[in-house]
Structure 1
Amino acid sequence: MTVAIIIIVGILIIGALGIGLRRRQTSASHWVVGKRDIPKWTTWFLQAGESLTTFSFLGLAGLAFGGGASAVYAIGYLTMAWPINYFVAPRIRELAQRRGYLTMADYFEDRFRARWLGKVVAIIGAITLIPYLQLQITGLGMIVELATGSSSARGLSMVIASILVAIFVAWSGIKGIARVAILKDILMALALIVVIAGVAISFNGISPVFAEIADRTPTLLTLQADGFGPVWFVTSMLVTVIGAGFATLPHLWPPMLAAKSGEVLRSNSKWLPIYQLLLFIPIMVGMAAVLRLPSDTPGNAVLLTMTGNIVPDWVLGLVAVGGASAAMVPAAGIVMGISTLVSSNVLQNVSPARKMTVNYVVIVVALGLSLAFGLVRSDIGALLLLTYGGTTQLAPGIVLALQRKVRVGAWPVGLGVLVGVVTVATITFAGIPTGGIDSGLIALVPNLVVLVVAEAIRRARGGTAVEQVEFEDDAAVPVAR
């Protein structure tokens, strides 16, 4: 009972902090990106939020429990993505400020001069973010259930957290998310430190853990664990590097577009790779769990089950609050990404006065769907890779539009994206075996082939080599709102 009370109170405090603004944000632009002047440290926490999520808290320990060293793919992809982001993010932010972008779809629409392409990107982005939103809601429920041992507490916490996220995102927008993101990272860091300290005390250090694993199950210290071999490791890391590095997930855009300057984004890209070292903690906990928990323990239950075995109940409750915050902050950013895509790009004829109303409706619908799906237990690691696989198909278009002059037409890009997304969906829902190769990486092949062939046909039929020239002065007409 003590653990449940601590968790519920913690969730309520997190929600209250997000609603802390005295005035509701009524401008769609200010709601999404503020005045585009968010300073370095606030932007840091907004961008760092993608590193420490429920996947980090639950899924990563589960991967280490079943796949051993293969779990370090998460550290690898995040660390490699930031150097790419160092060049990509400032360029996107520059274009967004000059042209008035609020979403990724605005970028596609404006750079390729095709409103229909913006709609396609918005629809794909919104749909592929739903599994990622579900991941956060599902993860939060798992955290509460594992900490309290109550399935009813699981459902109740998911409902309460979803309602609070809907309220504080609708009320405060990017400013509310930023405020909660700071608390969330502090709570997560403290929770992970407490957990690894408990493991170290329990095993008389960390090195004995690996010594015993080397003696009992040495394959876990290699990339040879069943189902998590080198092919899985390399392809999963590549697809997520592309997705994170080129910002193919739509909810990554508001923090980029709201940053005070490109220099702020470059600074974050230099230092955030070090932040990823925290992810070694859930990996080490998952490895240690191999020595203490039954082999049939569900992967998502590993971290909190281990924690519950080595710390007092009230400490477990505080750790669970840190995990809950790791679900609520990303969920807030994701639901904002979905709602702005719908209100700004899918429904483009919405008047400014009604745009926020549309945002509110979409927030409720998106969270409601994710809550409904989340009440059915899911593999949160699989949900993460499904989202990355779908959104990675947008990477070629993002890269081509970064150039000073966009030389490829909208139709080739759009057709490539559609073929790639259909390929991911077919592989995923038809259960087609891929030999461990990530479906998103496989889908990039037909995506690029279609893009190249369609562009060749376009040029052969007289299509111009330059579809859009970047405007030189800031007085250029921005994307229509």
Structure 2
Amino acid sequence: MSTTMVITTAGIVLVALVGLSGRRPPSRELGEWTVGNRRFSTATTWFLQAGESFTTFSFLGLAGMAFSAGVAACFALCYLAINLVLQYFTAPRMRQLGLRGGYVTQADFFVDRYRSPLLGRVVAVVGAVFLLPYLQLQITGLGLIVQLATGSSAGGRLSMVLATVLTVGFVLWSGIRGIARVAYLKDALMIFGLVALLIGVAVTVHGGIGGLFATVRDTHPQLLTLNQEGYDATFFFTAVLISGIGGGLGTMAHLWPPVLAARSGRALRSNAIWLPLYQIALGIPVIIGFAGVLLVRKGTAPNGVALTLAGQTLPGWLVGVIAVAAASAAMVPSAAILVGISSMLSRNLVAIRSPRTQLRVNHLCVVVAAGLALALGLARPGLLSNLLLLTYGGLTQLAPAIAMGLARTVRLHAAAALAGILAGVAVLVWLTFGGVDVGTVDTGLIALVVNIAVTTVAEIAVRLRRPAATPVAPAPSTPAPVSS
């Protein structure tokens, strides 16, 4: 077994052990397991929220897109910036409502604000279905990381199984506290790994980073424009828009527990201000992708560029450390996604009242979701960027209902919100799997337009049938102020 493989395997085990160490007294109910005591510090909330910035896609997908599509890869930097601008306003409000209503899941928000358990169940199903590709992305990416770092395809598959089992283990044992503990380690490893790889590239490329882009300008000028096939300006702007809306309005279920667990609205606003610093680090994979155009051989798989360059420019032990960093960037988001999926299914879809039984069903859902994603990752690994956009496109269909639900008084009826969500999801599925050619326009955005249109028509129809209808979910007469 190579030094790289030993370090990678040991690192994956270490990440899981750190997660296991996060356990406090055993959780006896789902709320403690999912959102802790709702008193997480600014620092802890920071690292939990940053999990959405540093993922497998950040490490492999961005470098791969830059390698094959050039500056189109910068769409990720743009949409994450939009996310944080929106979250400055939305996250404190979500936390306020969650504290007042005792939310544990994203679907609780819909049940409470729209007074509709049915809508909560539909949201739970939509959330689970469209988060599963994102979970598969993390697991598939982890296997690819190990395979590229060690040169062993069998080792990559075994690492997928090992990391999935270990992630499930520390999630079941420690819940959100374990994820928070690992998040600290993950970000430190990711920053170290990215900087080390950047230095290796800068030393290898003639003229350093400046010389790199000068050479790309002279030899591959098309990569510095939005004119690549499949990655033109239309792709860029529609992908930024759909992803920015989705993340900024909290359409992904696993983004809710860190918000609901925060100590105050001030902590969330502070993080929204300072988390853009991570955009600097996210620029590194893009630079690495451009370096791959000059340094790796033709025919290299785009998603393998980052670790291929690591193997060419760094010693084996350091490649192992970088592989551990990238693996941790798969394990932490995977853990958060498992919490988001399982808590909604056990609390909102099955709707079990007994806290102990609810927690047991939740743990079963963790195992089933992880097993299904692992099986899909082993049998049908997909393109990382496509999986990410499918997740955002599907879950952004919840955006109109979330936006209306955040208002002081909800003036949208549950029936209209439900009709819009179902219409948007149906159109997205048709466009994605029906072979419909829409060019490079993001299919999620097309579905969202249909969603809004159907929601509007359905709301008008409901109001015409109920001329004196009152708002669906009036806010309490004395709402609690947002924590400052």
Report the TM range for the smaller structure's normalisation.
over 0.9
Provide the TM-score with structure 1 as the length reference.
0.97
1:296 is displaced (CA, Å) by 2.2
1:411 matches 2:406: no
Aligned with 2:85 (options 83, 86, 106):
83
1:383 matches 2:387: yes
Q: Which residue of 2 aligns with 1:3?
A: 4
Distance 1:22 1:89 in 2: 26
- 1:409-464 CA-to-partner distances (Å, cap 9, x unmatched) read 00010010011011111111123221101111010111011100010010001151
Q: Which amino acid aligns with 1:223?
A: L
Q: Which residue of 2 aligns with 1:259?
A: 262
| Matched position secondary structure for 2:208 | coil
Instruction: Show the 5 A alignment for 1:92-171.
Output: 92-171=94-173
Indicate conservation of the 8 Å contact 2:352/2:358, yes or no: no
- 1:80-116 CA-to-partner distances (Å, cap 9, x unmatched) read 1111100000001000000101111110111011110
Distance 1:406 1:158 in 2: 44
1:224 is displaced (CA, Å) by 1.1
Q: Which residue of 2 aligns with 1:466?
A: 471
What are the ranges of 5 or more consecutive residues in structure 2 without an aligned counterpart? Answer: none
Instruction: Show the 5 A alignment for 1:22-421.
Output: 23-203=25-205, 204-375=207-378, 376-421=380-425
Indicate conservation of the 8 Å contact 2:63/2:286, yes or no: yes
Indicate conservation of the 8 Å contact 1:343/1:350, yes or no: no
- 1:42-94 CA-to-partner distances (Å, cap 9, x unmatched) read 10000001000000000000000011011111000101111110000000100
Distance 1:176 1:405 in 2: 36
Distance 1:307 1:137 in 2: 21
1:445 matches 2:446: no
- 1:293-347 CA-to-partner distances (Å, cap 9, x unmatched) read 2332111111100111111111100000000000000000000000000011001
Q: Which residue of 2 aligns with 1:430?
A: 434
Distance 2:477 2:101 in 1: 11
1:473 is displaced (CA, Å) by 4.8
Q: Which amino acid aligns with 1:93?
A: R
Q: Which amino acid aligns with 2:31?
A: S
Distance 1:261 1:396 in 2: 25
1:27 is displaced (CA, Å) by 2.0
1:24 is displaced (CA, Å) by 3.0
1:390 is displaced (CA, Å) by 0.3
Distance 1:23 1:51 in 2: 30
Provide the TM-score with structure 2 as the length reference.
0.97
Distance 1:27 1:377 in 2: 35
| Matched position secondary structure for 1:173 | helix
Distance 1:2 1:160 in 2: 18
Indicate conservation of the 8 Å contact 2:28/2:355, yes or no: no
1:22 is displaced (CA, Å) by 5.7
| Matched position secondary structure for 1:470 | coil
1:455 matches 2:456: no
Alignment size in residue pairs: 475
1:349 is displaced (CA, Å) by 3.0
Q: Which residue of 2 aligns with 1:478?
A: none
Indicate conservation of the 8 Å contact 1:408/1:465, yes or no: no
Distance 1:24 1:150 in 2: 39
Distance 1:339 1:431 in 2: 32
Indicate conservation of the 8 Å contact 2:139/2:334, yes or no: yes
Indicate conservation of the 8 Å contact 1:459/1:465, yes or no: no
Distance 1:248 1:296 in 2: 37
Q: Quote the sequence identity (%).
A: 49
